[in-house]
Amino acid sequence: MQAVNVLCIKWGKKYGPEYVNKLHSMVRRHLHRPFRFVCLTDDAQGIDPAIEVKPIPAVGFDEFDQRKPWTFGHGWLKLTSFANPLYDLQGRTLFLDLDIVIVDSLDPFFEQPGAFTVIKEWDKSDGTGNTSCYLYTIGAHADALEHLKNDYPASIAQVRNEQEFITGYLARQGKLDYWPDEWCRSFKRHCLRRGLMGWFAPPTIPKGARIIAFHGKPNPPDAIAGVSGKWYRRVLPTQWVADHWR
């Protein structure tokens, strides 16, 4: 069976090394084929030595390569995953955000055809993808970085973040596909009990889910502790997050 890649990226102080270590551990439990796990980062301290770590690559775009302040927000540095070359990586690659919890097998993700497969954003109707999880071939979309660089700042004038940029760009090329809806679910939107039930019953894993995305608040440690992060939202301590996020 051909080996595949699993890629993540960590920059700044928002997520500690434990997020990388736990993601690697979850992938090992849920991917049953040869794989190479690589973390791109600006700080490898605390990351398990068993994990392959590489610096966030230079891509020939000064705004990124000089780490201008705007590039640290809204996921923009994730676009460095489209560099060509990307060190010695080749072939099919599953990119995973750090703030996810894997609850079932990842094998079916690598069985999907298509140039770029991503989560369909849950709260938008315009086709925007959510890049918490996407599948692509290393080097196949380096033209997106060239467009970003050559047309900057016009290239980002109409988008709020990297996922609007990359999914819009690839959609215009006819290269955008989506995962089955049930595979990737939002903790806030699909796991929390609705209304008053949230005060009396803990969140649940939706049927068919493989990945739970923790965008915004709460994050996985908050969910384990029963901390909402928002005054208007009740989250009871969630044991299944602790069971899987390890």
Type of residue at 30: H
What is the average pLDDT across 189-202? 91
What pLDDT digit, counting tens, does each position of 98-112 carry? 999 999 999 999 999
- List C-alpha distances in Å: 124 to 17, 121, 205, 211: 32, 6, 22, 19
CB atoms within 10 A of CB 229: 13
CB 183 within 8 A of CB 108: yes
Class of domain 4-181: alpha beta
What pLDDT digit, counting tens, does each position of 99-145 carry? 999 999 999 999 999 999 999 999 888 989 999 999 999 999 999 99
> What is the rounded CA–CA span in Å between residue 205 and residue 211?
10
Phi-psi region of 161 (alpha: psi -120 to 50; beta: other; left: phi over 0): beta
What pLDDT digit, counting tens, does each position of 166-185 carry? 999 999 999 999 999 999 99
All structural domains of the chain with their residue ranges:
4-181, 183-244
